Structure 1
């Protein structure tokens, strides 16, 4: 029977085996690596086990990288009009023509007008093959408004058209406008979160650390803001912005409104954390050494639950994006010439137009994708930041 017993090394789990410390042994590390690992490294090990959150994080990184080079990715500029292709449907990309491999190409389109519904009807012209060009010189643009360039990832054939997601009422390419709109919709969430975090951490931190009358006033203000319906409050604040403001000022105003109304939840979370942490011995030691309240909060207390703040940020950003989309869709947010996903969806407000040209609703797809990705990422970060998991 003794011959069948496991050896000492076999009986021990892999994470408590004896031997030199190897930080790259596996995802969990050895016993000594777990003891010596920082909080961020422990979070990373737990986060990697959440596959859906990991894939969502990678997808969001790709999306934010794309908005940096959107001029290169978009076949057309954001306001380029193709007056001969108004309300053109999405074009399919083909590889074969009559059994013969040609490569990526689209068929030319012929337009007729339906006199019954007054709908523009486009049909593929199988005799007009338009090969797609890649890494090509096409419509000139100013990269980030600074550098003249004309290099695109994909271009239509000379004299041809390429509308992957169709065109709108002015003949503008919807795919290109979605890419340009991502730059506004994705960044407005980041800037809104920065505003929200500054207010939430400062106000909630002071309320939790000082307590007393200041905490009482902050809690009553938060309760008043929570008692007001969100969308009417958004509409009221957005409506007071002057109509003659420049697009940049409107963008900054919407960002500030979204951040101004979203700090309350974070402030309550920060307050509850600081109420518990301010009784710790190291806070008393810092006070006896003469540290100011600002230094104690910023240097000693806030870093203690920074992982919770990171998870909260990823769950707050999609709310900001939805807020901008809602305001712009209702006509009280961003306005042309600024292009965002909410502005693009204003084209789909009419049921009659949407019934004839359903591809105008396609900008809702990236909104759904980004919201789900941020929610999955936030769930993964929240689980990774939980010390009891």
Structure 2
């Protein structure tokens, strides 16, 4: 069985080339010689007919959509199984064709967003981004806390070596101080350091108790954007990209301190540009409408809650914190200690007593030493090198004259 157009080609070649035999026509068209012979003798081309597609009635489609949104959780195979349990037998492909328009509408609704502008002082959006940065000639992974005021688009950036919850809290406290006031709410994403889970029944996020208490102490509410909808937090998403592509790209820093010193300069530049959405300079928009709308800072800022780590002192008299090693007194080698990580200092406690304190470093793989911790462990006077050649002949216990007397005098 061949298609009608092939039959027409066979007949056309015979009409154009009467002297061509069946073999030649078959070679030209890539067919068998017997096939050419049969169709030249008058065999008609067979048209393949397909059975009509089965269409589901409206009631079945409505039930399938309800199951897809409910118990099946979006899985078409599960929908088919649930329909079969109700006595409705339908092929999977038929079911998928029926559900396809609904799936397309659902995807479009999920992707569509409406730009939402917040009132002055209403919201601060925060997020973390990371990028490899050249520090001291070595590529270093640096995490950037980014906070953007929803109305004015003023930006705050803080660099760190991790994105643990303590860095979120430190960044947020720094943003409050930088802007000189408090927003009414902070919008966060579903980062594991901030959100511990989600209640499926109420579709609400369960905020980490430590972060919730921190925000309560500052007097700001916490709002969580919906999972897999980062565009609901688009201002800070754009801010993170702007920091990585504009503030850090192409920069080399002599030290982490140099990077930290550069960020305020860059923030001033960012706040002075014409913003692409508001068509205003963020700092002018802030001064005009948002500064007065912020809540005042507390007279005494809430205390920072440091992170406490359990460590065992290594043989080199050091404990490790974020790849950075800090010395402790050598007598504590192999002892268990607590390391209290603050914003500026590292404290080491042994049985509740502070045994070491260092200024916190942000240079990865560095060793921070206190010479007092190693006192008594190293030799004060280094050993003297031995002479390379033979020394002078040492005086023997007896002189040679004594041996001469013993054998009867000199010869």
What TM-score bracket applies, with the shorter chain setting the length?
under 0.3
TM (norm. structure 1) is 0.21
TM (norm. structure 2) is 0.20
In proportion to residue count, which structure has more helix? 1
Q: Over alpha carbons, which structure has the higher Rg?
A: 2
In proportion to residue count, which structure has more strand? 2
Q: Flag the structure with more relative contact order, 1 or 2, with Cα contacts below 8 A and sequence separation at least 6.
A: 1
